[in-house]
Structure 1
Amino acid sequence: MSDLSLGSHFPVTTKHRAFLTEEAVNHRKGRRLAAVAVLALLVGVDVAGAQEELPGREWLSRGREGWFWYRDPAAEPVDPPLPPSPPPMPVAVSPVPPVQPSVTPFTRAEPLPLSVAWFRQNLDTYRDAAIDNPTPGNVRRFLILQRIMMDKSTAFRRTFQEVVATTPALDANTERPLDSVGANTANEVASTATQMLLRSLAQTVGLVYFFRSDCPLCGTQVESLEAAQRLYGFTVLYVSLDGSPMPRVALRAWAPDAGQAQRMGVKDAPALVLMRPPGEFLVLSESVLSLPAIAERTLLRARLAGWISEDDYRATRPVRERSFLSLANGITPDLLEDPEKFSGYIAAHMEDRQ
């Protein structure tokens, strides 16, 4: 096809196409040159503005430095080192006082004037004042106070005697007579009861005496044993720990130790043992005893072992034992506050024990 059609109403020939092509090329070159010029103008404005506005771009204006444009930055000034700080001065710190517990102080009530507690606290003070400054007034005051205290003591003693005389449970005479005649009679009664009880006990128990032939004390016990045998009727068996007789018992019946000492718990001589056949043994002593001591220990050990009764043992005492200790469990604070109720309680319980 030799013709180009630009439209249905404008036919284009080859000549027209060449002309149009050249015009189009020139037109395009012109547009390009105009665009380049505008771009150069814009770039120049932007670069200049950038050089003035952007920091750190100063090298763009130093073209004469050539390739040696780089330089070390100027050294920043260094501040001289500060001198070391002096050590802190010690600060005196006041110690914190300990916290005291909150306790209400106890205030002791002052004793009543002229009471026993008051005299105990103040009488010496008035006496000392009278001695240090013996004026008639000071001495008179002390003497009057002393007389009041003596009168209070006299009144207490009088009432004390009245209460003891009217209250048998508190009368010491009911336990043991205080006058010599009554005391001797009580001793005789107790001695008679002791002899009777020992003679009764001697019917079922006997005495075993362990000795050694070379023991200097062993011979002195023989006299008391002979008296016990004579007065109370005790049978006495003599046993030699070393197999030899003593001079005092040479003519008496004795036997060498055949294990009796070990069986009865005897370790040395002299030793006295209370024996009740067939096999009960009570060591009375491993030393020398007098006759009264033998009698007293025999009755005591027999009572503890149940060989005699409590009543029989009390009959051998010269003093009637009456103890208030068993009443202590029933005494209450309320009872102590009322002296009449307290006295009635004690009297009633002591009567029950008669």
Structure 2
Amino acid sequence: MEQKIMEVMRRMQDILSKEQLRELQSALRVTFNGCELQPRSELMVLDDSWNGDLEDFLMSKALEGKSQATIIRYRYELERLLAYINKAVIDITDSDISNYMRVYKRIRNIKNSTLKGVRSIYSSFFSWLRDRDRIRKNPMVLVEDIKVPIRVREPFTDAEREKLLRECRTLRDKAMMEFLYSTAVRVGELVKLNRGDIRFSTKDLIVCGKGDKERVVYLNERTHMYLLEYLESRTDTNPALFVSLRSPHKRLTDKGVEDIVRRTGRRVGVKAYPHKFRGTSITNALNRGMPLQEASCMAGHVKSDTTLRYAQLDQDSVRYHHKKYLSA
């Protein structure tokens, strides 16, 4: 029995934290105390025949242009799934995957939005296998979809953005927040930029976004001014666009930018995070008349439907037009 308990622990060690593993071990020992196991004649064999299929799939995704971070995420999620199910891919059923997803959600206590992303990875893998006749049918067709509630995320008001700007304690923070709003870049895109990427004469720059897709973004007048002042004030030689204040002035990370924005927001009572600047930029552009196709291009969205979600956030605009057109 103890050997079986340890086998369960081994299977779950990549899913649970150390504390959760200890709790699981204790629960199993209490539950099976006094029980006996009847031995089977055959031994359980670990099936890793899926390794070749997984490597081929990941190579295919790399050739499609998926980023290294995406490939790593695919590998991580698929290895966990396939090792847990412990079957050849041709024998995996929808029930195997559904059961694993239910365990995954319950044990890790993840949100449906996270689980939906994981499900899409599984779907991509098994669709790839089916398209190449490596499996007879795609089990993901029968795996239940994940419902994710659509939450309205309010953009910054003009007053809130002004409060944040006035509360910035350094020229770097002012330039960075205005840059986030003007360009609508993602924080992951921001931290990769270098000083040499900025074309001050034309007030624009090229950003490399998801899937290594490039797009041109633009600086408004205030961003242009703050950015020039910030760069002229620097004495370091780091090529990064935004760096830490203290020597050796390292390139800011995603977490570093998030901390700066959140701390500034807390000081003025505004819920602030970097992606909210992006949402505000897209929302304001759409509500102030920018064509959908151009807003999608600015945001780096492959599908216009993604951009359209931001067009529904400005309730003041909805209220104004409702009064204008439906008051009678």
Larger fraction in strand: 1
| Structure showing greater Rg | 1
User: By the TM > 0.5 criterion, same fold?
Assistant: no
- Give TM-score scaled by structure 2 length: 0.18
Give the structure, 1 or 2, with the largest relative contact order (CA under 8 Å, sep 6 or more). Answer: 2
- Give TM-score scaled by structure 1 length: 0.17
Larger fraction in helix: 2
